[in-house]
Structure 1
Amino acid sequence: MITGDAAYIKKINRSLIISKIFENGMISRADLAKITGLNKATISVQAADLLAEDLIIETQQDHKNLGRRPIMLSINQQAGFVLGIDLDKNSITFALANISGLPVQTDTIQLDTSDYAVILGLIAKKIKDYKQQCSHARYGLSGVVIGIHGIVNNDEMIYFVPQHGWHNKNLKDDLLTETGVNIYIENNANLCSFSERVYKHHQSENLLSLSLYSGIGLGIMVKGETLKGYHGYAGEIGHMIVVPDGIPCSCGNLGCWEQYASELSFLKKLSKQHNNLDFRYGDIQDLFLNQDPATCKQMEQFIKFLSIGINNIINLYNPEILVINSELLRIYPNAVSEIKTHLTSTVSHYCELLVSELGNRACVMGACALAIKNFLEVSTICLSLNEGKVS
């Protein structure tokens, strides 16, 4: 039983009620009382507050039975908006979503520089544009979360971004000064795992998300919470050494896993083989479909090295679900079954291994979901990308 002062208990009850409204999409006061265990008076007071704040709306539901039609409560999608940003090596992706987690606009900026000041200016301008665009809503642009393909500590300081060569950057405060908007900084792999939990695997308590894009990152969800480690640096699995004295890595080591099993490493090798510096996923898919010998041989090696790391991860964490976030694997026939053929250890156990349905949207959608969670101050949240359905 939760005990404490009245204000604290009220906050806990509010969080619980909002979470259950999200989870059910639409729900009556009577059903809220049943599933939360709160009395009807508490539900009525909390609902009245949330209605006054425009965070929820009432809808009278049609039904065929005799008697009064039930009044349903749901999240007011237009009360405010959040912005998720994926800051990668060659691009910045922006996703604007309403506070039900449904994306309303997506934009991408291509990068040809790693200059911190230039990239800071680009992001600040876009945030200010979105802020103006959302000014009609009561809560406007309620929060911004940025996914970083690098090391972010528990104070949201960027410790190191290998692909850009950044060290000790305070992007959070720099953008707050420029825009006046609440900014949160998070590792992109953590956001990917959060998005898988929030949008796809609501009931999974132990979920891992492996991201294979410009590097390799691991997002770790244990008992529904992100595992970050002592400083916040947990999950930098791409710098696990798989080939002693192997290919030099920007981290300073030799033979890091991401030099053999990231999409960037695959594309570099493929480009060299085919003398083509502008390979796109559609081009690679055509090579797969045409059974191009060099490409198939390279993919065989990619799967082999990928499986070595996955085997290590499974032994370390014994996950319920391991989601691999990779556009390359999404277009490769039988990717999961080929990986599984390499996972032959009798001591490795997992329940489910799959390729992410969210794909390269996972980071920005996880960022949007985290911004909603922070804005509404809820402990858990379940969202859906289906219009008109929240859970």
Structure 2
Amino acid sequence: MITGDAAYIKKINRSFIIKEIIKEGMISRADLSKVTALTRATISAQVADLLEEGLIVETMLEHNTVGRKPIMLSLNGQAGYALGIDLDYGKISFSLSDLLGQLVHSTIIEINTTEYTEILQILLEQMKKYQAEYTDSRYGIVGAAISIHGLVAKDEVIHFIPRLGWNEIDLKNDLKKEISIDVYIENNANLSSFAERVYCHHETENLLCATLYSGIGLGMMMKNDFFRGHDGFAGEAGHMIIVPEGRPCKCGNKGCWERYASESSIFEYLAEKKQIKNLSYEHIQNWLDEGDEEVMELMEQSIYYLSIGLNNMINMYNPDVLVLDSELLRMYPDALEKIKGNLHSFMSHYRELSISSIGKKSCILGACAMAIKHFLDVPMLNLPYETGKLNVN
């Protein structure tokens, strides 16, 4: 039983109610009372507040039976917008979603600088632009979450971004000095794992998501929260050594997992071998369609090394669900079955191993969902994943 002062209990009850409304999509007051174990009087009072605040709406369902038409409650997705930002080397992606996590606008800005002050100004300019343009809803921009491809401490200070050369950067505080939007800073792999949990794996409390693009990052959801480690730097699985004295890595070690199993390692090898400067996924897809033996052998080798690392992750964390986020794995025939075939240990236990259906959007969707979660102040979100129409500039 939850105990505490009246204001605290009211806040907790409100959180439970919003969470269940989002989870069910549409639900009646009577059913809300059943699933939350709250009295009908409590439900009525809380619902009245939420309706007045414009966070939920009522819908009267048509039905053919005798009696009153049921009145259903649902979240008002148009009450505000969440801004997700993916800060990556060479580009910054901005996406806006409604409060149901559905993307309504997206733009990508190419950048040719790694200077912090210049990138900070780009972020501020775009965030202010979104804030000014989306004032048609009651709450406007409810928050912004920024994805960082590097180490983020528990206090949200950026400890290190290898490709940008940033160390100990307090981006959150610098943004707050210039803009009134609530800002959250998070590691990109964590946000990808959050998106997988929020949009796809609603019944999963323990989930790992390995992102394989520019390196290998591991987002870890344990009991519906991030597993961060002592300082917040947990999840750098890409720098686990799987080949002693192997290929040199930018981290300073040799034989790191991402040097053998990430997409960047495959692109790097093929770009040099094939003498193609701007190698693309289309190049690799064509080679796979043609049955290029060298490319096929490289993919098989990458899957072998990927499986070694996954075996270690499974044994260490015993996840319920393990998601792999990789465009190349989606392209390569029977990649998932090949990986599963390499996991022979009787010690390894997991319920589901899958390739992400969200793909590269997972990071920025996770960022939008993170801003929504903080705004609504709920313990977890269960949002529908719909492709929808997206305006991209």
TM-score by length of 1: 0.96
Distance 1:299 1:209, change over 3 A: same
Could you list the per-position Cα deviations for residues 181-236 of structure 1 after superposition, in whole angstroms to 9, with x for gaps in the alignment? 11100011111111111100000121110011111111111122211111111111
**In the alignment, what sits opposite 2:190?**
190
In the alignment, the residues of structure 2 paired with residue 303 and residue 337 of structure 1 have an alpha-carbon distance, to the nearest angstrom, of: 10
> For residues 121 and 334 of structure 2, what CA distance do their matches in structure 1 show?
43
1:84 Cα offset (Å): 0.8
Unaligned residue ranges in structure 2 (runs of 5+) = 389-393
Kindly provide the CA deviation profile for residues 285-341 of structure 1, in whole angstroms up to 9, marking residues without a partner as x: 111111112211211221111111111111111111110011111111111111122
Taking a change above 3 Å as real, the CA distance of residues 229 and 180 of structure 1, as seen in their structure-2 partners, is: same
Give the C-alpha shift of residue 15 in structure 1: 0.1
Match of 1:342 in 2: 342
Cα deviation 1:224-277 (Å, max 9, x = unaligned): 221111111111111111222222222222221111211111111111111112
Residue 105 of structure 1 and its aligned partner are, at CA, apart by 1.0
Q: Distance in 1 between matches of 2:310 and 2:243?
A: 15
Mapping 1:22-101, distance limit 5 Å: 22-101=22-101
Aligned equivalents of 1:230, 1:56: Cα separation in 2: 39
Structure 1, unaligned stretches of length 5 or more? Answer: none
User: Matched residues in 1 for 2:42 and 2:124: separation?
Assistant: 42
Q: Is the 8 A contact 1:88 1:214 kept in 2?
A: no
Partner of 1:14: 14
What SS class does the counterpart of residue 379 from structure 2 fall into? coil
Q: Distance in 2 between matches of 1:262 and 1:112?
A: 24
Cα contact 1:89–1:214 (8 A) shared by 2: no
How far apart in 2 are the matches of 1:238 and 1:387? 30
Q: Helix, strand or coil: the match of 2:185?
A: strand
Q: Is 2:223 the counterpart of 1:223? A: yes
Q: How does 1:1-391 map to 2 (within 5 A)?
A: 1-386=1-386
| Mapped contact 2:156–2:184 kept (Cα < 8 A) | yes
Normalising by structure 2, what TM-score?
0.96
Cα deviation for residue 386 of structure 1 reads: 3.1
Secondary structure of the corresponding residue to residue 79 of structure 2: coil
Q: Give the whole-Å Cα distance in 2 for the aligned partners of 1:84 and 1:203.
A: 24
CA RMSD of aligned residues (A): 1.4
The answer to whether the 8 A contact 2:83-2:95 is kept is yes
The separation in 2 between residues aligned to 1:257 and 1:90, in whole angstroms, is 24
* 1:78 match: secondary structure: helix
Distance 2:114 2:264 in 1: 17
3-state SS of paired residue (2:343):
coil
Q: Distance between the aligned counterparts of 1:166 and 1:305, measured in 2?
A: 30
Give the C-alpha shift of residue 5 in structure 1. 0.3
Deviation at 1:113, TM superposition (A): 2.5
Q: Distance in 1 between matches of 2:62 and 2:87?
A: 45
Structure 2 counterpart SS, 1:92: strand
Q: SS state of the match for residue 230, structure 2? A: coil
Structure 1 residue identity aligned to 2:23: E
Amino acid at match of 1:172: K
CA contact 1:22–1:74 (8 Å) conserved in 2:
yes
Partners of 1:349 and 1:64 in 2: CA distance: 49
The 8 Å contact of residues 163 and 250 in structure 1, kept in 2 or not, is answered as no
| Counterpart-to-counterpart distance in 2, 1:113 and 1:270 | 26
Q: Write the letter of the residue equivalent to 2:234.
A: A
Structure-2 separation of matches of 1:27 and 1:293: 55
The residue that corresponds to 2:391 in the other structure is: none
SS of 2:156 mapped into structure 1: coil
Aligned residue pairs total 388
Percent identity over paired residues: 53
Deviates more, 1:102-111 or 1:43-52: 102-111
CA shift at 1:164, angstroms?
1.4
The separation in 2 between residues aligned to 1:368 and 1:191, in whole angstroms, is: 9
Please tell me whether the aligned partners of residues 314 and 350 of structure 1 are also in contact (alpha carbons under 8 angstroms).
yes
Q: Greater CA deviation, 176-185 or 378-387?
A: 378-387
**1:387 to partner: Cα distance:** 8.1
Q: Which whole-Å CA distance do the structure 2 matches of 1:90 and 1:106 have between them? A: 17
SS in 1 for 2:364: helix
The secondary structure found in structure 1 opposite 2:30 is helix
Mapped contact 2:246–2:255 kept (Cα < 8 A): yes
| Change in 2 beyond 3 A, CA 1:5/1:230 | same
| CA distance in 1: counterparts of 2:387 and 2:215, whole angstroms | 33
Deviation for aligned residue 1:374: 0.2
Within 1, Cα distance between the matches of 2:228 and 2:167? 19
174-183 or 1-10, larger mean C-alpha shift: 174-183
Report the 3-state secondary structure (helix = DSSP H, G, I; strand = E; otherwise coil) of the residue aligned with 1:12: helix
Alpha-carbon distance in 1 for matches of 2:50, 2:233: 37
1:37 maps to a residue whose letter is A
- In the TM superposition, residue 378 of structure 1 has moved relative to its aligned partner by 0.7
Shift of 1:67: 1.5
For 2:372 and 2:344, the matched residues in 1 are separated by: 41
Shift of 1:73: 0.9
Q: Secondary structure at the match of 2:178?
A: helix
